[in-house]
């Protein structure tokens, strides 16, 4: 029976990981940032893109305290945002307001749209890599052949992402407009029967 106990233990740990996946993800981000940014080492993505994380004002490496603050904020901000989003969705769903229910259905997609917009703007060179970088005075400097290049290979990706966001937004507006129109028609029909 030792094999059965081992299998049950593995299933329980897999269930625990699944149940607490956001906490595990935050812990993984913290470990990843601690092993890279906090130690002044490039992440694999920064190494691939040939960029370095520096102080925006001086261009020098970040002081240890600011590196750790960046790592902590980078690990905890997405986790806390997801928790807040889940609470807002739960509160909106339990509300009797149709507007709150409609917002609850769209809140998650709104958060994802903001993350995509941030990434698109970064690819275009118009925003910091992470939202926490700007208030902490962190910049990412390109090195090598891509330094100062106006036609970054990521520019096309950024433009494509912005187009996708615009089309998704237009589709969402059309859907919301159609739902509002259907509601007003139902109200008119209900008034006709009164």
pLDDT string in tens for the chain (194-residue length): 555 565 556 556 778 878 888 899 889 989 998 898 888 888 887 888 788 888 888 989 888 898 899 889 888 888 888 888 788 777 777 777 666 666 666 666 666 777 788 788 877 877 666 777 878 888 878 776 555 554 567 788 888 989 998 888 888 788 778 877 887 888 888 888 87
- Give the end-to-end CA distance of the chain in Å, rounded to a whole number: 71
pLDDT for the residue 150: 45
Cβ(49)–Cβ(123) under 8 Å?
no
CB neighbours of 137 closer than 8 A, spacing ≥ 6? 55, 56, 57, 66
**Does the predicted TM-score (pTM) go above 0.85?**
no
Cβ(26)–Cβ(79) under 8 Å?
yes
Cβ(52)–Cβ(147) under 8 Å?
no
Angstrom CA distances, 188 to 51, 102, 155, 175, 178, stand at 60, 21, 49, 20, 15
DSSP one-letter code for 37: G
pLDDT for the residue 31: 92
pLDDT in tens, 105-142: 666 666 677 778 878 887 787 766 677 787 888 887 87
Domain ranges of the chain: 22-193
Alpha-helical (H) ranges within the chain are 2-19, 21-35, 44-49, 64-94, 98-123, 153-193
Of residues 118, 117, 110, 113, the one with CA closest to residue 88: 110
pLDDT for the residue 185: 85
Angstrom CA distances, 89 to 86, 104, 155, stand at 5, 5, 34
């Amino acid at each position: 029976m030792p094999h059965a106990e081992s299998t049950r233990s593995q299933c329980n740990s897999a269930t625990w990981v699944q149940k607490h996946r956001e906490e595990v993800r935050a812990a993984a981000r913290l470990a990843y940032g601690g092993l890279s940014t906090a130690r002044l080492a490039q992440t694999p993505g920064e190494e691939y893109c040939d960029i370095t994380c520096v102080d925006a004002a001086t261009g020098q490496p970040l002081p240890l305290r600011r590196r750790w603050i960046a790592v902590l904020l980078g690990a905890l901000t997405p986790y806390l945002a997801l928790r807040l989003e889940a609470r807002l969705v739960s509160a909106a769903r339990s509300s009797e307001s149709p507007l709150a229910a409609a917002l609850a259905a769209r809140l998650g997609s709104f958060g994802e749209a903001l993350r995509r917009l941030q990434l698109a703007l970064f690819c275009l060179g118009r925003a910091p890599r992470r939202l926490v970088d700007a208030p902490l005075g962190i910049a990412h400097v390109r090195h090598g052949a891509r330094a100062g290049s106006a036609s970054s290979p990521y520019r096309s990706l950024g433009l494509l992402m912005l187009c996708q966001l615009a089309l998704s937004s237009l589709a969402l507006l059309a859907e919301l407009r159609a739902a509002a129109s259907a509601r007003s028609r139902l109200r008119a029909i209900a008034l006709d029967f009164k």
